[in-house]
Amino acid sequence: MHRIVVVALPGVYPYELGIPSRFFGAAHKDGRRLYDVRTCSLDGRPVPTNADFSVAPDADRRALDTADTIIVPPWEGAEDGADPIGLDRYADRRIVSYCTGAFTVAASGILDGREATTHWCSADAFVRRFPRVRLRADELFVDNGTVVTAAGASAAVDTTLHLIGTDYGAAVAAAVSQLTLAAPHRGGGQRQFIARPAIATSTRGSAGDIQAWLLSHIDEPLSLGEVAGRFGVSVRTLTRRFRAETGRTVGDWFADARVDRARELLETSDLPVDMVAAHSGFATPAALRKHFRERIGLAPQQYRARFARAV
């Protein structure tokens, strides 16, 4: 039986803490359980959660010595970038992090030179703290074989089902999916959930000013020359200034803005896709679908089915 040990650190998030027991515990084959899931605290004592209650694991850190897989859920001190577990001593096991538990795994050094993910809200902080880790901020999970990192909250479910399928096959994972009413696979990455950023404060001719003007003309076919002329500068100056302030090209930013407008219309209206494309500045529905899939990972109709609000 595959042994899984979940580490409850002070301020642990209860939702992610309970996922291993619920999902790995539901995996059976030929009438037998496939995983033995234990939860430990480092000293075997009760641990406060980030909610209004504590948990009392029945094991201490000695349980880690018997683990095939160690799981690190998010906890309140995770983003400080410490590893109180000492995960480098268990580098021969499979180590899995949920959400900001990736900070704890990265602090051990075992993610250096590898790819990882974490919750999109914490992506910038992760990159600053761990420059030797290649963050893939759009992914729901990243599997390096012996180290697996999941994005936030429900992405832990995606990751757990993936691991069950890796360990025991798709049929076992599908049975767990049916039993728990969890989607066996969610298309798209984290970008489908990321909130749209606010436009920078505008000053005349700044990137924020350019962005605000572009948003007010989002459904119009605009060339760089027309945008530059609007602000009385050359295309070269416009491009240099915009990149210096935002780190991006005007065209790339505007394509993202148009996709965001399409997202808003798909969520809040019943306009057909060709009208959504027109109101978002895409010349054709095919162009909308191309940019939408590149940036969100879903087709527009898939996105609408998932996120549409009552119209």
CATH code, 302: 1.10.10.60
**Helix orientation angle between 250-268 and 235-246, rounded to the nearest 10 degrees:** 70
Average pLDDT over residues 56-75: 97
Closest CA to 296 of 138, 157, 158: 138
* Cβ proximity of 143 and 176 under 8 Å: no
Q: Does 25 share its domain with 90? A: yes
Task: Please name the residue that has the structure tokens 């859920």.
Answer: 73
d(CA 210, CA 202): 8
Q: Does 161 share its domain with 255? A: no
Closest CA to 269 of 304, 295, 299: 304
pLDDT value of position 84:
97
Q: Domain end: 163, 191, 219, which one? A: 191
In this model, does residue 41 exceed pLDDT 90?
Answer: yes
Please tell me the least confidently modeled range out of 87-91, 118-122, 183-187, 274-278: 183-187
Of residues 18 and 260, more confidently modeled: 18
Q: Does 156 share its domain with 222? A: no
Structural domain includes residue 262:
yes
pLDDT value of position 195:
58
Q: Does 219 share its domain with 178? A: no
In this model, does residue 189 exceed pLDDT 70?
Answer: no
Largest CA distance in the chain: 74
Q: Does 89 share its domain with 164? A: yes
**How would you label 247-279 residue by residue, b for 16+ Cβ within 10 Å and e otherwise?**
eeebeebbbbbbbbbbbebbeeeebebeebbbb
Of residues 202 and 135, more confidently modeled: 135
**Helix residue ranges per DSSP H, 139-248:** 155-168, 170-180, 207-216, 224-230, 235-246
Which residue spans within 89-140 are E strands per DSSP?
Answer: 94-97, 115-116, 134-135
Q: Give every CB contact of residue 276 below 8 A, 6+ residues apart in sequence.
A: 262, 265, 266, 269, 288, 300
CB atoms within 10 A of CB 162: 18
pLDDT value of position 137:
86
In this model, does residue 202 exceed pLDDT 80?
Answer: no
Q: Which residues pair with 75 in a beta bridge?
A: 12
Within 13 Å and on the Cβ side, how many CA atoms surround 213?
18
Q: How far apart are the first and last CA of the chain?
A: 50
Structural domain includes residue 8:
yes
Average pLDDT over residues 201-215: 74
* Cβ proximity of 247 and 237 under 8 Å: no
For residue 138, give both structure tokens.
């759009």
Q: Does 89 share its domain with 222? A: no
**CA separation, residue 82 to residues 76, 107, 129, 192, 208 (Å):** 11, 6, 11, 30, 37
Average pLDDT over residues 216-234: 90
Number of domains, the chain: 2
Torsion of CA 159, 163, 164, 166, to 10 degrees: 140
Most confident among 63-77, 190-204, 206-220, 276-290 (mean pLDDT): 63-77
pLDDT value of position 198:
46
Q: Does 294 share its domain with 179? A: no
Q: Does 38 share its domain with 185? A: yes
Average pLDDT over residues 102-124: 96
Q: Residue 171's domain spans which residues?
A: 2-191
* Cβ proximity of 282 and 219 under 8 Å: no
pLDDT tens track for 250-309: 998 899 889 988 988 998 899 999 999 999 999 999 999 999 988 888 899 988 887 776
d(CA 221, CA 282): 8
Q: Does 14 share its domain with 151? A: yes
Average pLDDT over residues 157-169: 93
Structural domain includes residue 199:
no
Q: Give every CB contact of residue 18 below 8 A, 6+ residues apart in sequence.
A: none
Report CA 227 to chain centroid distance, whole Å: 34
In this model, does residue 206 exceed pLDDT 60?
Answer: yes
Q: Does 267 share its domain with 236? A: yes
Q: pLDDT band at residue 166, thresholds of 50, 70 and 90?
A: very high
What share of the chain has pLDDT > 90, as a percent?
Answer: 62
- How high does pLDDT run on average in the chain? 90
